[in-house]
Amino acid sequence: MSKAGINLVANLSGVGALTVNGVSGDDTLTVQGTTAPDAFTISPTAVLLSTLQGVDMLSNIDALTVYGDAGADTFSVTPGAIPIRVVGDAPLGGATGDSLLLNVTTAVTFHLGLQAGAGRFDVAAAQPVTFEQMEQLAVDGDGNDGVTVNGTPGADAFALTALLAPDDFTVSLNGATVTYTDFASATLEGFDGDDAFTVAPLAGFTTDVIIHGGNQTAGGDTLHV
Ligand SMILES: [Ca+2]
Ligand SMILES: [Ca+2]
Ligand SMILES: [Ca+2]
Ligand SMILES: [Ca+2]
C-alpha cells in the first residue's frame, strides 16, 4: 500500500481484514489488480479481490478507483455514497475481455463515453459509476425500476432486443451493448440528431419500452419494430 504525498509504502503480509480509513480531507482510494484475471467485488465500503488481499472495510474515502490491469477481469459493483470508477485495462476491445456487472435496486441511466468501452451509469439515490476499457457490460435490477439509455446530440442507432426471461433485454447504442436483467421499463432517449430505433420484442416480454426521438436534424427519427 502506498500513500500519495508522504512517501509511505506499507508492505502487508498475513493480514486478516484490512481497514482503510481516510479520516478527514479529500481522499481517493485506488485499488490495483494484478496482471492475471481478477474478480473484484466493489461497493462504497469494501473492495474484495477473489483470493487476494482486498480492502475489507473502507471509510471516510471520497472517491474509489479500481484498476483491473491485464487479464480478463470481472467487476461486480454495488453503487452507493461515493463515486466509483472502474478501469478494465487490457485486453482492449473484442468479444471477450473485462466485464462490469452493476447491481442496482433503483432506476439507472446509461451514458455512452467518448472512447470505446467507456461510459457512466447514473444511479438514483447513489453516486455514479464510471467505467473505461470495459468489453462486457451488464446491469441487474430488482424488477421494479426503469433503465434510461441516453443517446448523443448526433445521429444514434439504438437496438433493444428482448431476451428469454420476461424482463431481460439488451440495448445496443452505436455498437456498445449492455445487458439488462429485471427491469420494468426501458426508455430510449434519442435527443438531437436523426436517430434510428430498432425494437425486437418477444412473446411474453413484460418490460415497457418508451422511445423519445427528440429533435430531428434532416431526415427525422425512425422506429423499426
Ligand atoms: Ca487483472
Ligand atoms: Ca483487464
Ligand atoms: Ca478491457
Ligand atoms: Ca441523437
Tens digit of each residue's pLDDT (9 = 90 or more) over 175-197: 999 999 999 999 999 999 999 99
Domain boundary among 115, 140, 165: 140
62 falls in which pLDDT band (50, 70, 90)? confident
Is there a single domain that holds both residue 45 and residue 148? no
Is there a single domain that holds both residue 63 and residue 127? yes
- C-alpha of residue 178 to centroid of ligand 3, in Å: 15
What does the alpha-carbon distance between residue 6 and residue 76 come to, in Å, rounded to a whole number? 32
Is there a single domain that holds both residue 43 and residue 125? yes
Is there a single domain that holds both residue 111 and residue 148? no
Q: What are 4-36's pLDDT values in tens digits?
A: 777 667 677 777 788 778 777 778 888 899 999
Say if 1 falls within a structural domain: no
Is there a single domain that holds both residue 198 and residue 150? yes
- Reply yes or no on whether the pLDDT at 163 is more than 80: yes
Question: Whose atoms come closest to the Cα of 216: which ligand?
Answer: 4
CA end-to-end span of the chain: 53
C-beta separation of 42 from 76 below 8 A? yes
- C-alpha of residue 74 to centroid of ligand 3, in Å: 10
With a CB cutoff of 8 Å and minimum separation 6, the contacts of 161 are 169, 170, 171, 172, 200
Cell of 90: 487490457
Domain boundary among 140, 169, 197: 140
State the total domains in the chain.
2
pLDDT of residue 207: 96
DSSP state of 158: E
The pTM is what?
0.92
Is there a single domain that holds both residue 27 and residue 132? yes
Is there a single domain that holds both residue 33 and residue 80? yes
pLDDT of residue 158: 98
Is there a single domain that holds both residue 135 and residue 157? no
Q: What is the mean pLDDT of the chain?
A: 91
- C-alpha of residue 128 to centroid of ligand 4, in Å: 22
Lowest mean pLDDT among 90-99, 137-146, 166-175: 90-99
What does the alpha-carbon distance between residue 122 and residue 44 come to, in Å, rounded to a whole number? 15
- C-alpha of residue 86 to centroid of ligand 2, in Å: 10
Helix (H, G, I), strand (E, B) or coil at 155: coil
Domain hosting 211: range is 143-216+221-225
Is there a single domain that holds both residue 160 and residue 87? no
Question: Whose atoms come closest to the Cα of 213: which ligand?
Answer: 4
Secondary structure element (H or E) that encloses residue 178, with its range? strand 176-181
